Amino acid sequence: MTEPVRVVAALFRRDGLVLGCRRRADRAAGGQWEFPGGKIEPGETPQQALRREIHEELGVSITVGPLLDTSTTIVGDRPIELSCYLVEQFHPDPVTSSDHDQLLWRHPTDLAAMDFARPDRPVLRLIASG
């Protein structure tokens, strides 16, 4: 089996709401929703990668919280290993993104109706179930 692409994502949570980000049309998986993050670079820990990716994409400094889930999903012919971390401490509030055309705060149960990318769906099921 092909070595998985290791990626990290942040589940931003504030006042009972969760942040969803829609990929820009000119990006891979354009138009689909995801939790922000990206690839782990050689020599980085998952937490370092997440802090770097969130700062690059959203211009936000974060404190990485606990690991919520790690799942591997096949996308095309590539396994994607996504580790998602809870982020409740961040500054400033995310309002724009280099990779996304829309950022929305929603109740976790409302996210299921949105078209989330396949690697993010295990986390989506986890938070929607409580």
Q: What is the pLDDT of residue 106?
A: 96
Residue-level pLDDT at 95? 96
Query: What's the rounded Cα separation, in Å, for the pair 13 and 84?
Result: 12
Average pLDDT over residues 90-107: 96
CB 50 within 8 A of CB 84: no
Question: What are residue 26's phi and psi, to 5 degrees?
Answer: -85, 10
Whole-number pLDDT of residue 2? 83
Give CA–CA dist 84/40, Å, rounded: 12
Strands 78-87 and 5-14: parallel
Q: What are 6-19's pLDDT values in tens digits? A: 999 999 999 999 99
Domain boundaries along the sequence of the chain: 5-128
| pLDDT(1) > 90 | no
Terminal-to-terminal C-alpha distance of the chain: 33
Are 36 and 97 in contact by the 8 Å Cβ rule? The answer is yes
Query: Would you state the pLDDT for residue 122?
Result: 94
Which pLDDT band, with edges at 50, 70 and 90, does 76 fall under? confident
Q: Tell me the helices (H) and strands (E) count for the chain, helix number first.
A: 2, 9
SS3 of 84, please?
strand
CATH of domain 5-128: 3.90.79.10
